[in-house]
Structure 1
């Protein structure tokens, strides 16, 4: 396995742990040595093991859309590829082309091509039939992962929530509502196509390289926070970690959070209530933590910080910040 494939497996396992899956059992059922993964050294995973890893993750989580939710949860910087994209790209179109070229470094289950016309540009997956035959279940999960990850890649490059023009893929009727929520587009059922199209206007947009620094900064903060809560498996901690990891486009809603953990919003609220905390309190605490982090870094204007934290009006952010700290953002920056 190359470095990017190892990085993906480690990201997969980190997400499985976040979903409260028993990693030792997951690895044992899949014929994978957990100790080798944990040590971060050399390890190899064959096609059958990789297929079983996906199959058992879906089974243990009771989530047939595990790949879709993994793609939703991973920020762009997590796979270690974005640095190469940023260094070699100035526009979204160039970034997409370079990302497509890097796809074989992550998976050999399929290739990816990009085409465009006057109105849209389209990403299409092309199955590698021999590898697909060896890992059929993994193929479907990885395909879903790549489609949603493409959406989040574009989000991260221009700091906006992009809505695809069209998504075409095989899916079961029961999966349609969740596919529409995650992909932000009503999916079209196909027999064997995996296609996603975006408005052509994004193609020539400049990449906002500062967003990569923002995601890197977030990852560092998450790592620091996680080190202080090692071994904590409370719902409060899981929600906080998810909010932090995915905060570069604002705070996700309770409904989005619950869906990613494959529970109902009411169930998530009840679990948090049992721990004597509410989702709103956790969201505000994360917003406060990030606001302080951004202000202390000195690299962002207050208006930018307000937008990054999901506030449509600077005045609303200023009121919230004063409620948290007793001073305005500008006042805090002057004395910090």
Structure 2
């Protein structure tokens, strides 16, 4: 049986690397052996080790919102079999119902309750009171993680960046600006509960566009790149890896990347200039690779591919694609379709 808690710990370590954290020091401080986490036959990490990983990851990355940013970045494919159930659901409602049913396999920090009405559907994360009292700081990091992860994974299931109608959670002393950005809600209501509320129209939204085959390939590639370059600390490589890992959700803005890496946009731009590259160049390279993949696959119309890649206007995508290839997306897709027929 798949060890989901061990898998979550491994993904936490992988994300910490993306934030330029020394993984060997993180494991040493947390009393965790990376070789044991990778060994399917070894025991799951203890509660003490899990708590230490969260605490030390936030400390070494110098990111007090480590859990929130980790949740923004993690992919549903990392959940293994549970992720497979989610992505093979017919609708958003069905996917979330599956997620709620299997949440206990991933964590004992909370249970997930999903309810729907004519106007709204609600996801409530019900805390394990005992766990919340054992280590309040770790508990808050993990609750932030699940709020962000759940919201952002819905983006991978439909062609729309879904926004909550309401977010309810205990408002802490930390500036709410980053919570509002990650959770896409301008007003976060203070509450003793952790709740995301959405417009009911999304409940029956069909799952059509998530390309999880591409995601799996990208994740394997980024894991190799991360392992090979984790000691280099090159900012452009970290951004490239981040873009690869999240490419099936489109290309994020510079501001989103900077916030996730816990630096200012200006500082990130300066560091990239020092390496002789711009964020636009990195993003364009990723957009070109994705555009070629989607158009070659022939499963999405050009307008849909344009949206996936973050273009507000089809004309902007057409101009960019012509700059990359010398032809239009429609012409390229037609050529690829003809090549498949004759192969």
The Cα shift of 1:256 comes to 0.5
What is the CA-CA distance between 1:59 and the residue it aligns to?
Answer: 0.7
> Is residue 98 of structure 1 aligned with residue 98 of structure 2?
yes
Question: 231-240 or 276-285, which moves further after superposition?
Answer: 231-240
Q: Which residue of 2 aligns with 1:166?
A: 166
Cα deviation for residue 121 of structure 1 reads 1.5
Instruction: Please report how far the alpha carbon of residue 43 of structure 1 lies from its aligned counterpart in structure 2 after TM superposition.
Output: 3.7
Provide the residue aligned with 1:36 in structure 2: 36
| Structure 2: gaps of 5 or more residues | none
RMSD of the TM alignment (CA)?
2.1
Structure 1 CA distance, aligned partners of 2:162 and 2:59?
31
Deviation readout 1:253-290 (Å, 9 max, x if unpaired): 11110000000001100110110001111111111111
CA shift, 1:241, in A, is 1.6
Asked if the contact 1:47/1:131 (under 8 Å) is kept, the reply is no
Residue 113 of structure 2 corresponds to 113
Q: 1:299 to 1:206 in 2, by over 3 A?
A: closer
After TM superposition, the structure 1 = structure 2 runs for residues 139-154 of structure 1, keeping only pairs within 5 Å, are 139-154=139-154
Which deviates more, 90-99 or 62-71?
90-99
Task: Identify the residue that residue 317 of structure 1 maps to in structure 2.
Answer: 317
Q: What residue number does 2:214 align with?
A: 217
| 1:47-62 equivalences in 2 (<5 Å) | 47-62=47-62
Cα separation, 1, equivalents of 2:164 and 2:247:
21
For residues 244 and 222 of structure 2, the distance between their equivalents in structure 1, rounded to whole angstroms, comes to 9
8 Å Cα contact 1:51-1:137 kept in structure 2: no
Aligned to 1:79: 79
2:175 is paired with a residue whose SS is helix
Q: Per the alignment, in what secondary structure is the counterpart of residue 64 of structure 1?
A: coil
Is the CA contact 1:222–1:241 (under 8 Å) kept in the aligned structure 2?
Answer: no
Provide, for residues 167-220 of structure 1, a one-character-per-residue CA deviation record: whole Å limited to 9, x for no partner. 111233433010000000121122x32111111111122222x41xx1331330
Counterpart residue number, 1:261: 261
- The size of the alignment, in residue pairs, is 331
TM score, norm. by length of structure 2: 0.89
| TM-fit CA distance, 1:129 | 2.3
1:326 is displaced (CA, Å) by 1.9
Counterpart in the other structure of 1:181: 181
Shift in Å, 1:23? 0.8
Separation of aligned partners in 2, 1:50 and 1:255: 30
Deviates most, 65-74 or 246-255 = 246-255
Deviates more, 1:220-229 or 1:271-280: 220-229
Alpha-carbon distance in 1 for matches of 2:213, 2:8: 17
1:224 Cα deviation after fit: 3.2
Deviation at 1:228, TM superposition (A): 5.8
- Structure 1 residue ranges without an equivalent (≥5): none
Tell me, in whole angstroms, the C-alpha distance in 2 between the residues paired with 1:256 and 1:303. Answer: 24
Contact 1:66 1:141 in 2 (8 A): yes
Alpha-carbon distance in structure 2 between the residues aligned to 1:332 and 1:196: 41
Report the equivalent of 1:197: 197
Is the contact between residue 6 and residue 45 of structure 2 (CA under 8 Å) also seen in structure 1? no
